[in-house]
A and B are shown apart, each in its own frame.
Chain A
């Protein structure tokens, strides 16, 4: 088989997987009513916003002579502020995201990718620039960027057990979204948040958890292993551990909330057992909010 043919068949295989994922993301995004999109205030941009009377201090260049000629006053033509934001997405590619507590529920990673892509659809539609952290897909705007995002997100994940947020490739004073289960070492998160805050980047942490991780519905003699098999813990009665496990989980959530607040970020916990809609709405609002 020639390399050409191989490449082509691979491309076709990839292309066939894309429409459903993209369609699902677009379908999800279509249900968000963009009520207060647009900046609704004067600023830099192309679109006409309003005429206002000229104040002392406005330079003569700013006066709109055509409008002013129709009356005795001077008017300044203002444009709507349309500065595009750069949003950097990081979706945890580690093995722990491939956990699936029940066949009826999607993998955590699938849900995280879906959320990221739906958010990207919304943002791109709003004219923002969206990219992935790292240096593969820098933030850009436009419909074509969506295809790049899809291809990049459909990549195989890494082999590490737990993910560590990648804070590279963020645009200063832009926005960032980290989607992960945050079950690994929190030092990586702290580090990434510190670097983001240094660059003036604000954003949201979305913790995607399976309901099984939230409930710990296990009992009996059990050996727990991490998805990659690097960590293991044996217990005689898993049921006895439930209380302490839940306490630790709550503590971790508190810690994440605290971290987010301190660095001006937002934190949200999403479960794969529920629909993706509410999480998408929350994410969108969180990015709209001004710090």
Chain B
């Protein structure tokens, strides 16, 4: 390669050809442009005229320059110019390429792979052996292989959604002997990095590759003071900047979409920024993850678990107690227990059901109205939890006494019982330990929880299975029954401290939590997670894209509690028995520390100067110059003159070159519609609706053409050629009149076509349906008529009546009494006259001023009567002899009347006023 400044040439000898340019200059200069031959009658006037200037037959200098530049560009292009040619770095011995391959690498992974591949290729050219190591993998022996064995595998390497766990473990795996190392770092400090680096330095030269791009990580969202608190951290802590965080989740229809968006601002020099996001609970409970907009990395995604979900709980008390007696309120302790962890809803029951709460608590409510009862039942069957507390009212009522109430888990015995009171024999009872199959199993029962009164359940056969907590004497304390997908739970004591000390104890809160009434504390403690196997439901990859975990193996709770994702435990959502825990790459306390490299290590950024071949550019430039040369030469010789169409054409070519072929194709699409519109509007056009019968279409076209000829000859209406209209595809608004021959097999138009047709009818268009069956049999008995009924039923058609003798159609141009087509027996139907239409004084017709009928339904096969062939001769015979010709004439007259009616509306009807007008003029 021969270099000239930043330019290199792969075959510099070709540049010698540039010497030929001056020769070319002289050659081109001698050849004038070829003449153009033109036929022109005015040549007789030109004879004898001589050119004033003779030197015009030489090529002008600027055209020569253009051509010389084009040839020069081509010569240079073939000499193979390269910008910034790479000077190969020398190196010997094996090469070890280490890649962190962590979540922080994901943002620019393709460029890292490019860099690593370039290294592998370079090593291959130099005959060095190579090993590539992903440091996020579990440490394994490193073996050098031939470079070409690696070059195919580079594309398959992917980053991992976690950080390297312990780099020091790799030291033991390094091979014997000296080698050079190239470390593609993700820019973060990882444990053991120093010891691995010093071990590598002991083996040979180490080059570190460090991307200068900032790293942004999102910490898990926390719920604080009624709002979601989001925190992001970044590296390096540079200028003030802003990132956008999206909250994503399923919408009510089950489609994942963006639910909310917040901006986190970093002030200059700070590496942590936060924002608090206040959302309605309906929205907040739907959020499944937060992510930083525009960053593809697992660190920029934070999955949410149950800790963010707030349940909606409706509290309804049976009686409104007196003010001031707060502690006696049936719901006081419930409010105290639930307020910090759930959304409480107050109101009456019917309003509450509309809000669709997760839990409804009925504290000592005995009777519900039938409406409320069915409402709650429906709600519970869809998964609601109805939690009832007993009390004096429930005990006094006969709810669920003889037969089981649908909103009660068990039957109750009358009155309840009282133990340990002043008037009773026994002691207050303590709680029995919870059964293993009870949801409360594992909770410790404080000794001071005693029950003084309770309502008692009838000893039904399934009482035992429904009891989930009992007193020491075996009487049930909490019973439960499933209703559909939901359940009803009855606590056999009051929700306040009247009947027991349970609401005063911590056990009450824990029991509510176990019943999934209240929400879990934000951060799971190790003790919560231990002893269970947690199965992943959703897993994140390094790019932060969640996917279904499918059959991934479960994780021990102890491991999960550490909150440190690794090869065996990918970040994601882990499900246990009754709760789900999110494991994120970034923990609540994670801060990003930049990797520090000792002074002796060469650090290289991503932005290396790349080799850039310029051959294509030079060739394209040469080609472009030649194209300009063609246009210029045409212009010089006068051939660019093509009239206006030609100029438009040239502009079109230039435009196409500028905007590319795709846009041109688009333009052609709109061009077709534009062409149709221009064609339809440049003249009055009669049009017919295309049917499925090609022959019939031809007859309809010939019919309208024949009618058009008659209009042309007899009236001032001069219609252009007949047009065919496809009601599915074409715009109808341009046509005043559509002729629609009906066939028995015509397809029903689409909904879109119907919308178009209705808009057409409403905006003053007219359609003439022709069933061509001569109205045989009763109305609507022929196949065509039945089809017409089917087609027309979705259309916006007013009531119809047979054309009355005084209708405007009978006198818009000719005075007509009958309306034959090729057939004579059919009836013509038009919009019915209003019932109050009155006959004007002195005129033979009614006063029907307004309303041009939007449809005319006929059956006389008019198109056949009107149809003419190319020589303007009738296509079909009508009737016989003179009478037949008379019939054809009448049918033409009806057609002319029809078109006049379409175009002038009720103008002729206004003539009822002619006597008045004449009278006034006379005065």
Query: Which A residues form the contact surface with B (CB < 8 A)?
Result: 12, 15-16, 19, 23, 27, 96, 99, 102-103, 162, 181, 183-184, 212-213, 216-227, 231-241, 244-245, 248-249, 252
Asked whether, in the complex, the Cβ of B39 is within 8 Å of the Cβ of A223, the reply is no
Interface assignment of B41: CB less than 8 Å from any CB of chain A: yes
Identify which of B35, B36, B47, B53 contacts A240 (C-beta below 8 A). Answer: B53
Asked whether, in the complex, the Cβ of A238 is within 8 Å of the Cβ of B56, the reply is no
Complex interface: chain B residues within 8 A of A240 (CB): 51-53
Besides A102-B643, A219-B638, A223-B36, 13 new A-B residue pairs in contact (Cβ under 8 A), listed by A number: A16-B871, A162-B41, A183-B41, A221-B35, A222-B37, A224-B39, A226-B44, A231-B44, A235-B49, A237-B52, A238-B638, A241-B46, A241-B51
The complex places the Cα of A252 from the Cα of B44 at a distance, in Å, of 11
Complex interface: chain A residues within 8 A of B52 (CB): 237, 240
Asked whether, in the complex, the Cβ of B37 is within 8 Å of the Cβ of A235, the reply is no
**Chain B 40-99 interface residues, beta-carbon cutoff 8 Å to A:** 40-47, 49, 51-54, 56-57
A221 in contact with B42 given A16-B870, A231-B47 (CB within 8 Å): no
Complex interface: chain B residues within 8 A of A16 (CB): 870-871
Asked whether, in the complex, the Cβ of B42 is within 8 Å of the Cβ of A213, the reply is yes
Asked whether, in the complex, the Cβ of A225 is within 8 Å of the Cβ of B35, the reply is no
A233 in contact with B43 given A217-B641, A221-B36, A221-B638 (CB within 8 Å): yes
A69 shortest CB reach to chain B, Å: 40
Complex interface: chain A residues within 8 A of B53 (CB): 236-237, 240
Asked whether, in the complex, the Cβ of B49 is within 8 Å of the Cβ of A244, the reply is yes
A191 shortest CB reach to chain B, Å: 18
A224 in contact with B43 given A102-B643, A240-B51 (CB within 8 Å): yes
Asked whether, in the complex, the Cβ of A184 is within 8 Å of the Cβ of B637, the reply is no
Interface assignment of B872: CB less than 8 Å from any CB of chain A: yes
Asked whether, in the complex, the Cβ of B54 is within 8 Å of the Cβ of A236, the reply is yes
A245 in contact with B46 given A235-B51, A240-B52 (CB within 8 Å): yes
Asked whether, in the complex, the Cβ of B51 is within 8 Å of the Cβ of A19, the reply is no
Query: Which B residues form the contact surface with A (CB < 8 A)?
Result: 32-47, 49, 51-54, 56-57, 636-639, 641, 643, 645, 712, 870-872
Asked whether, in the complex, the Cβ of B47 is within 8 Å of the Cβ of A237, the reply is no
Asked whether, in the complex, the Cβ of A237 is within 8 Å of the Cβ of B56, the reply is yes
What are some 16 contacts across the A-B interface (CB < 8 A)? A15-B871, A27-B712, A99-B41, A183-B42, A184-B44, A212-B40, A213-B41, A219-B641, A220-B637, A221-B33, A221-B637, A222-B37, A224-B40, A233-B46, A234-B35, A236-B53
Asked whether, in the complex, the Cβ of B43 is within 8 Å of the Cβ of A225, the reply is yes
Complex interface: chain A residues within 8 A of B712 (CB): 23, 27
Asked whether, in the complex, the Cβ of B46 is within 8 Å of the Cβ of A224, the reply is yes
The complex places the Cα of A113 from the Cα of B872 at a distance, in Å, of 22
Asked whether, in the complex, the Cβ of B638 is within 8 Å of the Cβ of A231, the reply is no
Asked whether, in the complex, the Cβ of B41 is within 8 Å of the Cβ of A223, the reply is no
Q: Which residue of B lies closest to A244 (CB)?
A: B49
The complex places the Cα of A217 from the Cα of B639 at a distance, in Å, of 11
Complex interface: chain A residues within 8 A of B57 (CB): 221, 236
Of B32, B44, B49, B712, most A-chain CB atoms within 10 Å: B44
The complex places the Cα of A99 from the Cα of B643 at a distance, in Å, of 15
Q: Which residue of A lies closest to B35 (CB)?
A: A221
B645 shortest CB reach to chain A, Å: 8
B63 shortest CB reach to chain A, Å: 13
Q: Which residue of B lies closest to A249 (CB)?
A: B45
Q: Which residue of A lies closest to B44 (CB)?
A: A183
Q: Which residue of B lies closest to A102 (CB)?
A: B643
The complex places the Cα of A220 from the Cα of B632 at a distance, in Å, of 12
Complex interface: chain A residues within 8 A of B870 (CB): 16
Complex interface: chain B residues within 8 A of A245 (CB): 42, 45-46, 49
Complex interface: chain B residues within 8 A of A232 (CB): 43
The complex places the Cα of A241 from the Cα of B52 at a distance, in Å, of 9
